């Protein structure tokens, strides 16, 4: 069985918020201090739990935004009618405590010794970029030269998460190309894609099947379904297309 | 002991007139879609509503259903996942009319639906102006994601009892658990007594 | 088959709960549908209504493969829709 073997049961651990980075007007990254963190792999997620003074408890799942070896971080998108995301993106302060359980997930993982060196096609819909960014950071830290295309579908430039990091990767020309499609609003002079992903766009962005690519697709369910079926139609073996569907909430 | 997350609290209950929001609920202005399976898309030409288990089975086609007496009602609905939505407007046929067409003695029903969903109710909770088979929501045809062409509407119980895509009722002498009830949800489901799970 | 609505997730979303229930990582486990015989990894199975409980269905025939409902800290598990899970 591929993937991480978890020894024993997962338990909830107390994490302290160590740092807070506002990525966009609605998205924040929280870096967490977890004393007994067992380490994680790129693509995994964790569950968090918040307990209120009256004992009320809420649980959610968030993809881990950092690479193996880096402090555990999650990136949270604020939903206006949310219960947990407004707290995490607006109220939480350095030093606050939350509970975490993880790392979780043996399927949606990129680990070069196991995953091989086929070129990577990463496809992100909105906040689906979070686990893919962990994959990109891991690639950088281990010095992998696997070629990567990241297709990032997002409504507007203002909503791009990790924008300076991704633009830097594009400029470095170290084998990573980030292709945006801005589906609702484009800046003046924009010459890139300006529509929802479709078969034509996938054909232009995806690695040829003959090169043995591996695809990771993450985002809202409709996005994932569309991209995955386009890739299979292009000849990608289904086993080489890994999918992770987030709800409309943006969390897995 | 779980650490308290400073400043975290459940969604606030809006200040509503007393008695409108059951315990543990919050008011939403959205209409969340929760389904146990994919949305069926039954053609109206194939749709029927049946009542089985009475003296003889009774069934209406969509055409026949549309010519039954209908009511427009405004009710509050309460989901076991804690959201409540106030003043929702529906149009449909009262279960008093539908059950009035059947001769029966059974005290319980199992509602059955396209897609296989079921839920159980006492007949008494369907009568006396408390329940409808609704096909219009907020002035328009009930959307498929919210149970269209027609759903059960039983607002005095948690909303999982208001079965989406309902196709009929099976009258029964015993109270057989439906889909969620089999897995531990309450057999009756009174939101005012917070009867969410068996044993509550 | 229609494209799944946005509210439907997949087995990744219940990964933590599966570890609690089975004591092991399960998203890479392969299930066989008891109705149509389709084989699939749990991570790729459609998961409905994860708030009332998780209903895991066959991607091809919609048969209910697994249901998980947590009541007062205990998870009720029904795997009867699967022919096997390994």
Q: How far is B70 from chain C (nearest CA, A)?
A: 31
Is residue B52, in this structure, part of any structural domain at all? yes
Q: Residues B72-80: what's their mean pLDDT?
A: 97
Read off the pLDDT of each residue in B53-78 and give the average, rounded to a whole number.
97
Domain A13-104 has CATH 2.40.30.10: yes
CATH number assigned to the domain comprising residue B65 = 3.90.420.10
What residue has token string 């991480």? Answer: A4
In the predicted model, what is the mean pLDDT of chain B? 95
Please give the average per-residue pLDDT across B102-112, as a whole number: 98
How much is the mean pLDDT over chain A? 93
pLDDT of residue A9: 63
Mean pLDDT, rounded, for A134-141 = 98
CB contact under 8 A, A247 and C13: yes
Residues in B touching C45 (Cβ below 8 Å): none
Nearest to C24 among A6, A221, A243 (CB): A6
The predicted structure's pLDDT at residue A1: 36
User: What would the mean pLDDT of A17-25 be, rounded to a whole number?
Assistant: 97
Asked if the structure places residue B15 within a domain, the reply is no
Q: What is the mean pLDDT of residues A114-131?
A: 96
Nearest CB partner across the interface for C28, out of A2, A9, A244: A2
Confidence of residue B10 (pLDDT cuts 50, 70, 90): confident
In angstroms, what separates the C-alpha of A211 from chain B's closest C-alpha?
Answer: 36
Is B55 exposed, middle or buried, given 0-12, 13-18 or 19+ CB atoms closer than 10 A?
Answer: exposed
| Average pLDDT value for residue range A57-86 | 94
Best interface-test mutation with C: which of A84, A106, A250 has the largest number of C CBs within 10 A? A106
Q: Tell me the torsion sign for CA atoms C6, C10, C16, C22.
A: positive
Q: Distance (Å) from the C-alpha of residue A102 to the closest C-alpha of chain B? A: 16
Q: Name residues of chain C where pLDDT drops below 70.
A: 1-6
Q: Can you give the pLDDT at residue C6? A: 57
Rounded Cα gap, residues B86 and B29, in angstroms: 8
Instruction: Give residue B192's pLDDT.
Output: 97
Cis amide leading into B149 (omega within 30): yes
Residue at B127 is within a domain: yes
- Domain residues for B149? 46-193
Q: A36 pLDDT band (50/70/90 cuts)?
A: confident
Instruction: Give the pLDDT of residue B11.
Output: 78
**Over 50: is that where the pLDDT of B110 sits?**
yes
State residue A24 phi and psi, 5-degree precision. -140, -175
The verdict on a CB contact (< 8 Å) between C7 and B33 is yes
List CB contacts of A145: < 8 A, sequence separation 6 or more. A174, A175
Calculate mean pLDDT across residues B90-109: 98
Average pLDDT over every residue of B114-122:
97
Domain count, chain B: 1
**pLDDT over 90 at A84, yes or no:** yes
Query: pLDDT exceeding 90 applies to what percent of chain A?
Result: 88
Read off the pLDDT of each residue in A1-17 and give the average, rounded to a whole number.
68
State pLDDT tens for residues A188-208.
999 999 999 999 999 999 999
Q: What is the pLDDT of residue B17?
A: 62
Q: What's residue B13's pLDDT?
A: 60
CATH match of A112-246 with 1.10.540.10: no
A73 pLDDT higher than 50 = yes
Domain boundaries, chain C: 9-85
The answer to whether the CB atoms of B36 and C48 lie below 8 A apart is yes
Interface contact flag, A107 C5, Cβ < 8 Å: no
Count contacts between A and B (CB, < 8 Å): 47
Closest-CA distance of chain C to residue B143, Å: 13
Crossing angle, helix A129-142 and helix A163-172, to 10 degrees?
A: 40
pLDDT higher than threshold 80 for residue A51: yes
Q: Are A9 and A98 in contact (CB under 8 A)?
A: no
Separation of alpha carbons A143 and A140, rounded Å? 5
pLDDT surpassing 50 at residue B30: yes
For the segment C9-29, what is each residue's pLDDT rounded down to a tens digit?
A: 999 999 999 999 999 999 999
Please tell me whether residue A125 adopts helix, strand or coil conformation.
strand
Residue B38 lies inside a defined structural domain of this protein: no
pLDDT band at residue A3, thresholds of 50, 70 and 90?
A: very low
Q: Judge: C71–B184 Cβ closer than 8 Å, yes or no.
A: yes
Q: Is the pLDDT of residue A250 over 80?
A: no
**Percent of the residues in chain C that have a pLDDT greater than 70, as a whole number:** 92
The contacts of residue A54 (CB under 8 Å, 6+ apart) are: B9, B10
Q: What is the pLDDT of residue B19?
A: 83
Do residue A108 and residue C10 have CB atoms under 8 angstroms apart? no
Region A83-90: mean pLDDT is 94
The proportion of chain B whose per-residue pLDDT surpasses 70, expressed as a percent, equals: 96
A121 pLDDT above the threshold of 80? yes
- Res. B112: pLDDT tops 80: yes
- Look at residue A171 and tell me whether its pLDDT is greater than 80: yes
Q: Could you tell me where in chain A the CATH 3.40.50.80 domains are found?
A: 112-246
């Amino acid at each position: 069985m591929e993937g991480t073997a978890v020894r024993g049961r997962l338990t909830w651990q107390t994490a302290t918020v160590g740092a807070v980075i506002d990525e966009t007007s609605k998205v924040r990254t929280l870096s967490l201090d977890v004393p007994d963190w067992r380490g994680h792999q790129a693509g995994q997620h964790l569950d968090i739990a918040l307990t209120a003074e009256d004992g009320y408890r809420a649980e959610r799942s968030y993809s881990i935004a950092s690479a193996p070896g880096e402090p555990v971080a999650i990136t949270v998108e604020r939903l206006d009618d949310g219960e947990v995301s407004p707290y995490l993106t607006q109220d939480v302060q350095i030093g606050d405590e939350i509970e975490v359980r993880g790392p979780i997930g043996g399927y949606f993982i990129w680990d070069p010794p196991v995953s091989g060196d086929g070129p990577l096609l990463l496809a992100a819909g909105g906040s689906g970029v979070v686990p893919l960014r962990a994959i990109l950071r891991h690639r950088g830290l281990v010095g992998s030269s696997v070629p990567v295309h990241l297709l990032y579908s997002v409504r507007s430039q203002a909503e791009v998460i990790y924008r300076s990091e991704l633009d830097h990767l594009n400029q470095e020309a170290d084998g990573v190309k980030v292709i945006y499609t801005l589906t609702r609003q484009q800046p003046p002079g924009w010459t890139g894609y300006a529509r929802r992903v479709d078969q034509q766009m996938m054909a232009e962005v995806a690695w040829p099947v003959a090169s043995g690519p591996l695809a990771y697709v993450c985002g809202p369910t409709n996005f994932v379904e569309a991209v995955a079926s386009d890739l299979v139609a292009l000849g990608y073996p289904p086993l080489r297309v890994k999918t992770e569907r987030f709800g409309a909430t943006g969390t897995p | 002991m779980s650490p308290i997350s400073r400043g975290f609290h459940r969604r606030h209950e809006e200040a509503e007139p007393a008695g409108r929001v059951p315990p543990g609920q919050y008011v939403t202005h959205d209409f969340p879609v929760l389904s146990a399976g994919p949305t069926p898309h039954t053609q109206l030409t194939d749709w029927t509503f049946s009542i089985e288990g009475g003296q003889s089975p009774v069934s209406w086609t969509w055409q026949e259903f549309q010519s039954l007496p209908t009511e427009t009602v405004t009710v509050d609905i309460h989901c076991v996942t804690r959201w409540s939505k106030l003043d929702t407007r529906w149009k449909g046929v009262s279960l008093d009319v539908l059950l009035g067409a059947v001769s029966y003695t059974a005290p319980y029903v199992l509602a059955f639906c396209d897609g296989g969903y079921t839920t159980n109710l006492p007949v008494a909770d369907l009568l006396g102006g408390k329940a409808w088979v609704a096909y219009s929501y907020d002035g328009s045809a009930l959307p498929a994601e919210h149970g269209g062409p027609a759903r059960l509407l039983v607002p005095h119980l948690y909303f999982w009892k208001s079965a989406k895509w309902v196709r009929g009722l099976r009258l029964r002498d015993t109270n057989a658990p439906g889909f969620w009830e089999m897995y531990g949800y309450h057999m009756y489901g009174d939101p005012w007594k917070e009867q969410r799970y068996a044993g509550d | 088959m229609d494209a799944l609505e946005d509210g439907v997730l997949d087995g990744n979303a219940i990964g933590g709960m599966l570890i609690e229930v089975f004591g092991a990582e399960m998203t890479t486990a392969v299930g066989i549908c008891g109705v149509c015989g389709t084989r699939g990894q749990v991570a790729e199975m459609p998961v409905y209504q994860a708030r009332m409980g998780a209903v895991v269905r066959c991607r091809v025939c919609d048969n209910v493969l697994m249901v998980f409902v947590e009541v007062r800290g205990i998870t009720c598990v029904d795997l009867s829709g699967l022919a096997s899970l390994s």
